[in-house]
């Protein structure tokens, strides 16, 4: 036959996988067929990786159906795949293992069915990882623990009503499931979809557009170098993303505002206030980059004094600083009227400050602090009280105007403190 290797050619092939190429359907080692790739996979990881070392220029592998036998396991752990690998439309009827697998380039799992657990922990995706339309078993578990995505990743879904027609053509190849059509229809309508763990790093873009998460999804230990897309996705109430790391807004510069807005609305739908507010803050940070200059200044001020309503310390520090500056103003007014220093300045600075009336100073401190509590009594506006504290020479109208100014700014700081406490304790 044309593709049949001669005995001499076979003798040049490594003995760990030589025998499969006696079948011309497997192709040649440098041009292995899809059937040959499946047969080589059955030889195990050592034979497969040896073939990769012997023929590194083989760029493309396409897997089709696997014939299921009792001794055949879907174990791809520690395999090294070439630059273009496709598992598209395969129905894996048993648990599948891709632990520590290395995909040197793009890999395509589009429209696959994982009927039981799928473990990708420690895997490295150096190119684009296409999981678009992948269907997970309702009782299975998807694990991306310590997985590294160096390229883009697409987890977008397909419509539920076309699953049946897409996969019906190869149902008969799966001996374990006699009535796949009945099972898949029943199971996929379940409210319990698989637990998915993403403990990994997405260095490229990642898309979950249209995906319906009906089970627990854990993104806590995930690092996104680009903001993920969840457009049209339905987030499960137990989705955990609080500790995930997102790119700095100085890198996205307003381009991710819609991504954060959708995540905000998705979590708001489930009354997850903490996550809703977290993505609201990121949305506002993105908005600063695309707003007009005047609006950007207000947003930057809002961020500076309260971290968009999430910091208690910043407005509290601002309140104390305002009280201190106001105290300095009141002491200055008092010194002009001769009420604070008991001696005139004669060049001896130490003597001058030692002459301070500390009893009167405590009254000024109390006056400044009381103005930092604008919701207390308005007795501090009483002219007799002001004259007794500052003396008859003080300009009462100027002093009252400054008191109004201090109280107004203090009220703003108290509002921001209350807003931060509300956000911190997830109050509505």
b (16+ CB within 10 A) / e for 9-37: eeeebeebbbebbeeeebbbbeebbbbbb
Confidence of residue 339 (pLDDT cuts 50, 70, 90): low
More confident residue, 185 or 74: 74
Span 176-199, mean pLDDT? 47
**Global confidence as pTM:** 0.69
Is the pLDDT at 277 greater than 60? The verdict is yes
Q: Which two tokens stand for residue 100?
A: 């520590």
CA–CA dist 93, 416 (Å, integer): 56
R_g of the chain, CA atoms, integer Å: 35
Lowest mean pLDDT, pick from 194-198, 236-240, 263-267, 371-375: 194-198
Q: Give me the residues paired with residue 229 across strands.
A: 207
Query: What residue spans define the domains of the chain?
Result: 7-294, 313-424
Confidence of residue 168 (pLDDT cuts 50, 70, 90): very low
Q: Which two tokens stand for residue 250?
A: 């100085």
Confidence of residue 180 (pLDDT cuts 50, 70, 90): very low
What pLDDT, on a 0 to 100 scale, did the predictor assign at position 353?
Answer: 64
What DSSP line would sit under 51-117, residue for residue? HHHH-TT--EEE--PPPP-TT--EE-TT-EE-SEEE-TT-EE-S-EE-TT-EESSEEE-TT-EE-S-
Is the pLDDT at 299 greater than 70? The verdict is yes
Span 183-206, mean pLDDT? 62
Q: Which residues contact 48 (CB under 8 A, 6 or more apart)?
A: 17, 40, 41, 79, 80
Q: How far is CA 418 from CA 303, 306, 310, 424, in A?
A: 16, 11, 10, 10
Q: What is the pLDDT of residues 343-387, one digit of tens each?
A: 555 666 666 666 666 667 787 888 888 888 877 655 556 677 777
Q: Which two tokens stand for residue 133?
A: 């339309």
* Average confidence score pLDDT of the chain: 80
């Amino acid at each position: 036959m044309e593709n049949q290797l001669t005995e001499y050619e076979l003798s040049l092939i490594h003995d760990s996988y030589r025998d499969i190429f006696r079948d011309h359907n497997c192709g040649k080692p440098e041009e292995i067929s899809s059937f040959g790739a499946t047969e080589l996979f059955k030889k195990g990881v050592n034979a497969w990786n040896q073939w990769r070392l012997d023929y590194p220029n083989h760029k493309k592998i396409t897997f089709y159906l696997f014939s299921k036998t009792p001794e055949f396991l879907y174990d791809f752990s520690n395999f090294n795949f070439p630059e273009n690998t496709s598992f598209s439309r395969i129905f894996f009827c048993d648990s599948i293992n891709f632990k520590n697998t290395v995909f040197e380039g793009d890999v395509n799992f589009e429209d696959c069915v994982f009927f039981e657990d799928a473990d990708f922990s420690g895997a490295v995706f150096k190119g684009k990882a296409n999981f678009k339309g992948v269907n997970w078993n309702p009782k299975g578990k998807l694990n991306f623990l310590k997985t590294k995505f160096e390229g883009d990743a697409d987890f977008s879904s397909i419509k539920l009503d076309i699953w049946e027609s897409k996969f019906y053509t190869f149902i008969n190849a799966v001996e374990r499931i006699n009535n796949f059509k009945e099972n898949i229809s029943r199971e996929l309508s379940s409210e319990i979809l698989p637990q998915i763990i993403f403990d990994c790093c997405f260095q490229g873009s990642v898309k979950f557009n249209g995906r319906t998460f009906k089970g627990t999804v854990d993104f806590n230990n995930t690092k996104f170098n680009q903001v993920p897309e969840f457009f049209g996705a339905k987030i499960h109430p137990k989705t955990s993303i609080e500790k995930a790391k997102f790119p700095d807004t100085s890198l996205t510069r307003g381009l991710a505002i819609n991504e954060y807005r959708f995540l905000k609305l998705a979590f708001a739908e489930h009354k997850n206030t903490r996550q809703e507010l977290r993505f609201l803050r990121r949305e506002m940070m993105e908005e600063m980059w695309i707003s007009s200059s005047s609006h950007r200044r207000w947003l930057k001020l809002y961020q500076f004094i309260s971290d968009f309503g999430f910091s208690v310390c910043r407005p509290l520090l601002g309140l104390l600083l305002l009280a201190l500056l106001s105290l300095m103003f009141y002491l200055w007014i008092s010194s002009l009227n001769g009420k604070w220093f008991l001696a005139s300045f004669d060049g001896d600075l130490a003597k001058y400050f030692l002459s301070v009336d500390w009893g009167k100073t405590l009254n000024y401190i109390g006056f400044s602090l009381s103005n930092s509590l604008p919701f207390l009594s308005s007795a501090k506006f009483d002219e007799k009280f002001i004259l007794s504290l500052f003396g008859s020479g003080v300009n009462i109208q100027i002093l009252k105007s400054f008191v109004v100014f201090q109280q107004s700014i203090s009220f703003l700081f108290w509002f921001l403190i209350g807003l931060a406490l509300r956000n911190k304790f997830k109050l509505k």
